[in-house]
Amino acid sequence: KMAEKQEEPSNTQNGEPDNAEEGEGKKKKKLKREDLPPFEIVTGERLPAIFFKFQFRNVEYSSGRNKTFLCYVLETQGRESVTSRGYLEDEHAAAHAEMAFFNTILPKCESNLRYNITWYVSSSPCVTCADRITETLKKNKNLRLTIMVGRLFMWEEPEMQAALKKMKSAGCKLRIMKPQDFEYVWQNFVEPEEGEEAKAFVPWEDIQENFQYYEEKLAEIF
């Protein structure tokens, strides 16, 4: 059931309506998507509410949640400040969303500009992505990165803990998303559900306890 839930909304990520009734149209679209590059970079758009409710949920066991959704706010300070925002998600055929951000959204850092970046990510980076973040921050002293995560990924693994510590020492701020942060993502990055006025964010039952659980785990690592 969970896997289905994940598969099903993938049509909507191109901003096309999701015609669940037309099973046929859906199959064709699926085929067509294979010809697209393995990365769907969606910028300046909002993610479907169904993705958010499933992927960002800060549960302890993230069964079926094997995609990374990354919402970003990128503030570039030069003569003028420019802020851009959007979201990325990863497809398994290619790099993870964290890599895609550096390859696509911010392929090069101009040394005369300052970059303040905030990511709201469904779960913390894997070891490879954490290492890439550490390298990028060491190379670009004009880059500030804050990562707000819903869940900690494989935090019990010593290798993972070491990678997160390196990221922290390279200047990356890693924070667990509080209920207010989930609400911020809901308001700024999630599409209003069809046929309804913008609905208020409805926190799930264990949102606060799960936040505290992950916050304690992160404190133990650091």
CB 104 within 8 A of CB 131: no
Q: Which amino acid is at 221?
A: I
Q: Which of 127, 107, 105, 108 is nearest to 118 (CA)?
A: 105
**Taking the CB of residue 97, how many other CB atoms lie within 10 A of it?**
26
* DSSP-based three-state secondary structure for 220: helix
Q: Let me know the angle formed at the C-alpha of 55 by 107 and 46, rounded to the nearest 5 degrees.
A: 55
Tokens of 130: 């954490």
From 60, 98, 191, 215, the catalytic residue: 98
In the residue annotation, 191 being an active-site residue is answered as no
Residue numbers annotated as active site: 98
